[in-house]
Homo-oligomer: A and B are copies of this chain.
Amino acid sequence: MDYKKFENNRKKKVALIGCGLIGQSWAISFLNAGFNVSLFDPAKGITAQAKEKIEAKLSDLQVNGLIKKKNISNYLAKIHLAEDLSSAVRDSIHIQESGPEDLKVKKELTKKIDAVAAENIPIASSTSGIPASLYASDVKGQYRCLVAHPINPPHLIPAVEIVPAPFTSTSITGAVKDIIISIDKEPLELNKEIPGFVVNRLQGALLNEAFKLVKDDISSAENIDKAISEGLGLRWSFMGPFQTIHLNAPEGIAGYVKRYEEMYKDMLNKPEIDWSSIVELGLEEELLKLYPLSEREKHEKDRDNKLTKLILHKTKP
């Protein structure tokens, strides 16, 4: 968090509606970036408990030098425990709803927030899979509703999926991306809505395969976990799946698909997609632009260097 960003946020306030684990993590991210936060939860007594948990987590971050101010009380002073929705959203430039993952509850909560929030203030939901089209289509101010989905634990993981509905105004989407950037997170904007978004669709596909392997008694859960934590997950902690395979064949992704398409086709019980056609549809073009084959050697060295450091980091006592 650079000083300029922090100073810029210092007089701003955000409203966090729903104060479970996710709401608490949002509070930490916003506080650490200089913001004032209002906490509100429909259940009595939750906001006071949340404040205690936020304090404990801030202490953990402080030990690691990850928070800006020396004195945690400076952060706690910027937390406002709101008695009702209206006072929570008052003067807030952004509203982040982290209620239960229940369509009906989310519909009603969003309507209530919309009724009390000033015009043009974004109402972003932390939902991990429900598109705004489903929960906000009846909301009067639907133009300012969209998803900003963080990944657990959100005060540590950078990625935040930004998923506007077709009815979300582009200026609202832009404002939400800006605020996510201002708290040092990485907004990933989707082109279109889809249930589960990108993160949970990727996680779901992996989990589904992992469940099948357990069901067919191929391996213990422990070994499946290690196939990731001592294997694929090491690369994935700094390099996504496309960049990984792009680097796994001398000709890049087209070569990888050509080489391994048959193997994957055999193993995916119902291949629903022709991999080589996707490469031709523009994926190769995008990857070659991001990672030209001419820089292959550099990227390979860079990968190995990062892996080396990661392994040193993982194994040092």
Contacts and interface: CB of A to CB of B under 8 A. Distances in A.
Contact of A283 (B214, B234, B239): B214
A129 B213 contact: no
Chain A contact residues, majority secondary structure: helix
Contacts of A205: 205-206, 208-209, 268
A196 B60 contact: no
A278 B224 contact: no
A158 B230 contact: yes
B64 A309 contact: yes
Contact of A208 (B152, B158, B272): B272
Given A156-B307, A190-B219, A233-B240, A227 B206 contact: no
Contact of A239 (B128, B194, B229, B305): B229
A49 interface: no
B156 A308 contact: yes
A184 to B, nearest CB: 9
B213 A304 contact: no
Contacts of A260: 101, 128-129
A306 to B, nearest CB: 9
A201 B263 CA distance: 10
30 contacts: A66-B311, A151-B232, A156-B234, A188-B231, A194-B218, A196-B267, A198-B219, A198-B223, A202-B206, A202-B209, A202-B210, A205-B208, A206-B206, A207-B264, A208-B264, A208-B272, A208-B275, A221-B240, A224-B242, A225-B240, A225-B241, A227-B240, A228-B241, A229-B243, A232-B236, A233-B233, A233-B239, A236-B236, A237-B314, A310-B313
